A = this chain, B = another copy of it.
Amino acid sequence: MIAPASLPFTETEFALTLALLLVAPLAPAGVALLNTGLGRSRSAAQSLLGSLLLVAAASLVFAVVGATVADGVAGSGHIAIINGKPWNWAGTGSWLLQGLGTAPARGQAAVLFYFVALALAVLIPWGSGADRWRLTAGAASAVLIGALFFPFFAHWTWGGGWLSRLGVNFSLGAGFLDVGGAATVQVLGGLCALAVIWITGSRRGKFPKEGFSTAMPGHNAVYILFGCLVALVGWLAFNMAGALLWLGAAPSALPLTAVNTLLSASGAIAASFTLTRIRFGKPDASLCANGWLAGLVTSSACASLVSPMGAIFTGLVAGIGVPLLVEFLELGVSLDDPSGAISVHAGAGLWGLIAAGLFAPQPGQFVAQLMGIATLLGLMLPLIYFVFMLLNRFVPFRVDADGERIGMDLHELGGGAYPEFVVHRDDSYR
């Protein structure tokens, strides 16, 4: 992939990118609503307040230090020479976003893209820690994601770093391709979710000593499904902005990206609907929502690289695979992931990155994709887990047992989300 600043960027392309990046924040907004709906009513206010707080914390720290590392402005970076090849491992942007207003247009738009991407990335683990992950620990994690994990990986893929140079340096296709953030946002966020679940453990009563796991349905299906619709609108814009910025696509390539994004989600929900209907006798609304989102996640890797039929195919696979993966993680390995983020974001994101390698015409692209995936699983996941474990010592992730029983809202905020509505609590998972 080519470094941002080195491509031409017409005034129209710049203006279009800005307009798209203003619609794109509907993606994190939709995901925040969806996360809240998938949690329980006793944690709804904490869930959404946490979403605002995590986005705020990550944005602040990214502005102060993260953007320097990610360096969308200059295109240069810290380079280590290994075996005669340059490995660009960190950016050299200015601190505190100084000089943003006078940077080249493409670099400015890249910074805006980073902020939207980061907002989405920090919301992914937040949904998985629902009903037990403390606000301050969530905010502290968002600080680490915004200062450390996201900036480095974003530099490697988008800011001219070594993953994006695999093509130039090792003839691996166009280098690692992550047009719409399938790796840098979705898989990275999904791996953070995995680490959070490992550290916080399951919700009380989720896996009783005897018998099966307890179903804990989301408390509001309207939030879940309307969140899916809102997310779609943002996703369309985000994938298109990514194509303009990271693929150097012309505006005339963008309707295809948009159509493919829609078709990927459509194929995925059709598959999830059919699959859950066959397996359980009735379709499952939550898993269909997960399927829809998985289709969007897949499109973040593929939408600009495949044909419409390819988009439907990759969506179908995501829509079949994700409900099965959700089931396996819950029943097979007892991971309690309320929002299904590991399956939806990490799982479908990985599938999308592989599919992008399979569909790409350039030789070596598949290997480049595998190298990016290996970096995520082999380097980022251990790093995230280690850093979060360390953080957990100073800012305990998990709420205490009493807090969990009364609910995050009452415990952390002193009041519920729905003070006037009568709620009945299922004693089975009290």
Contacts and interface: CB of A to CB of B under 8 A. Distances in A.
Interface string A209-243: 00000000101111101101110110011001000
Contact of A48 (B28, B226, B270): B226
Interface string A258-274: 11001101110110010
A13 B40 CA distance: 46
A82 B16 CA distance: 45
A201 interface: no
Interface stretch (A105-113, A356-364, A370-378): A105-113
A101 B253 contact: yes
Interface stretch (A52-60, A164-172, A334-342, A380-388): A52-60
A232 B119 CA distance: 13
Contact of A270 (B56, B228, B273): B56
Interface string A9-26: 011111110111111011
B413 A284 contact: yes
B16 A18 contact: yes
A52 B34 CA distance: 14
Interface stretch (A92-100, A323-331, A346-354, A394-402): A92-100
Interface stretch (A155-163, A173-181, A187-195, A306-314): A306-314
A199 interface: no
Nearest to A15: B16
Interface in A88-134: 96-98, 100-101, 105, 108-109, 111-112, 115
Interface in A376-426: 409, 412-426
- Give the copy number: 3
A96 B270 contact: no
A226 B18 contact: no
Contact of A45 (B112, B225, B228): B225
A290 to B, nearest CB: 12
* From A219, A220, A226, A265, residue with most partner B Cβ within 10 Å: A226
Given A12-B15, A22-B23, A32-B226, 14 more contacts: A18-B240, A19-B20, A29-B226, A29-B232, A29-B233, A32-B229, A49-B283, A49-B289, A63-B312, A219-B419, A221-B417, A222-B223, A282-B413, A422-B423
Given A25-B232, A233-B22, A45 B222 contact: yes
Contact of A63 (B45, B100, B259, B422): B259
Pick the 6 closest A-B CB pairs, nearest first. A56-B266, A45-B221, A48-B225, A221-B417, A19-B19, A108-B255
A222 B18 contact: no
A52 B228 contact: yes
Contacts of A49: 221, 225, 283, 285, 288-289
B419 A421 contact: no
B18 A254 contact: yes
A141 interface: no
Contacts of A417: 220-222
A256 interface: yes
Given A23-B22, A60-B263, A221 B48 contact: yes
A100 B421 contact: no
A44 interface: yes
